[in-house]
Amino acid sequence: MRTNGFVIAFAAAMALAVGCADSVEEVDIYATNFEPGVEMRDGVRILRLKGTPYEMGKQHATFLHDELVKGVEFLETTELGLLEFIARDYGFLDDAMAQSYPDVIDECEGMAEVAGAEGWTMDRCMALAYGEIVLDFFEAGMLQCSQFAAAGPATVDGELIHGRNLDWGDMSYLLDYPTIMVRAPEGRIPYVVVGFPGCVAAYNGMNTAGLSIATNENGSMNDLDREGVPTVQGVNYMLSHFTKIDEVIDYIVNSDRMSAENMVVTSGHEKRAVVFQMTASHIHYEELGDDGVNYITNHFVTEDMQPYEDPKDPGTSTYCRYMRLRQLLEPGFENVRDDKVYGSVDPAVAAGILRDRYNPIDMIEYPKGQFDVETATGGAIAVNAAIYSIVFKPASGQFWFAYGSKPIPDNPFVGFNVQELLGNDPAAVAVPAVVE
């Protein structure tokens, strides 16, 4: 990471679908042409939601009813199920009802009306939607995510690419039910979320204005606050309200934060990407450097933020993954990798970065298929508990998603186009259709 400093006309929609639109103003970013429902495609559920948050909650619980029942079983038989009890016993559920985004509360109410009798209650939904706050205070989060952005001289065509591994431990439910949520909130910008049944706070998403956002969990030893708004819920808000990256910067900087998070926000049309490092009362953000790359894992990388994070051994996984991203993305590291990546990033190369299994300290390559390196001496990008691997190309509304059986990054990255998912252009596809 550098530390310096839909449709106005059919032609416009087609231009966006193939990545030829010059600016977000050329298309109607609010256009949708779908009815709510669920579709199974290549092993992934595509859940389409539309209307008010309450209506979308009811749709969510109706179309994924059986999956939510399975989620209840999973929560009640795993440690994650303790989240609800902890949240209730320590008053976090009261905090969640008082401080969550109103849309999230309304959506949970809609879900609970449909599936509450089967165990998907309001408390359960809100505990998950408020989860990063509870995990931060109890230092229980798994810190194993990796993200990067590349644009300009770092990519083949100059277009911005955003890659991310969402790592969350060996969560069988998330592995078994990968879900793309196509969300069209009433009067707001449609967006897609890569997640799972019951997910109402977006960890990864992209909107029709060309923004992509994803979060990495971090921790703080001395800068948490129980009064404010949840950062992960804020991803939904930003995707549904903003079209420019300056709007996002202003919103995040001035938000009343509570927890420690790292976040990557990109704007494909503007070819800008910002990495945020933040705690309750401190924040640092920076954009792409002249080399066109930026990246983050699960620790703070600037001196002004390091006093506020939980100390970690310099050889632990987050440092190893960060070092490896530097080797793979920045110019000048060709001697420590098998091929030249800088200047060649495209969807396939981005997927290759997310699949990388080298420990950058000793250059040991972990065996293919290894999952969740639990060691104090380091780890690698692809093996640390990856649940989903995603490559976004937000200017053209394309993304590629690896899911299914573990290890996730080794699976094909299946391509999707937001205009096809929204029903605006059934012929719109991602190019390539699949990254093998």
Q: What is the pLDDT of residue 372?
A: 61
Q: What is the mean pLDDT of residues 190-199?
A: 97
pLDDT greater than 60 at residue 60: yes
Q: Which of 219-228, 249-258, 328-337, 398-407 has the lowest mean pLDDT?
A: 328-337
Q: Could you give the CA distance from residue 250 to residue 227 in angstroms, rounded to a whole number?
A: 20
Residues of the chain above pLDDT 70, percent: 90
For the chain, give the mean pLDDT: 89
Confidence (pTM): 0.92
Concatenated DSSP letters of 321-364: HHHHHHHHHSTT-GGGSSS--TT-BSHHHHHHHHT--B-TTT-P
Q: Could you give the CA distance from residue 50 to residue 163 in angstroms, rounded to a whole number?
A: 27
Q: What is the mean pLDDT of residues 23-47?
A: 89
> Are 130 and 100 spatial neighbours (Cβ–Cβ below 8 Å)?
yes
Nearest CA to 60 out of 195, 242, 213 is that of 195
Residue ranges of the domains in the chain? 142-435
Residue 4 has phi, psi (to 5 degrees) of: -80, 120
Write down the architecture of domain 142-435 according to CATH: 4-Layer Sandwich (3.60)
pLDDT greater than 90 at residue 430: yes
Q: What is the mean pLDDT of residues 358-363?
A: 86
**In Å, how far are 358, 386, 402, 435 from 409, measured between CA atoms?**
14, 7, 6, 11
- Those residues whose C-beta lies under 8 Å from the C-beta of residue 339, and which sit 6 or more positions away, are none
Residue 85 or residue 239, greater confidence: 239
**In Å, how far are 62, 157, 432 from 346, measured between CA atoms?**
38, 8, 10
Q: What is the pLDDT of residue 16?
A: 37
- Band of residue 337 on the pLDDT scale cut at 50, 70, 90: low
Q: What is the pLDDT of residue 20?
A: 41
- Band of residue 19 on the pLDDT scale cut at 50, 70, 90: very low
Q: Which of 133-142, 194-203, 273-282, 349-358 has the lowest mean pLDDT?
A: 133-142
pLDDT greater than 80 at residue 361: yes
The two three-digit tokens of residue 385, written as one number: 């508990």
- Helix (H, G, I), strand (E, B), or coil: what is residue 21? coil
Q: Exposure of 35 by Cβ count < 10 A (0-12 exposed, 13-18 middle, 19+ buried)?
A: exposed
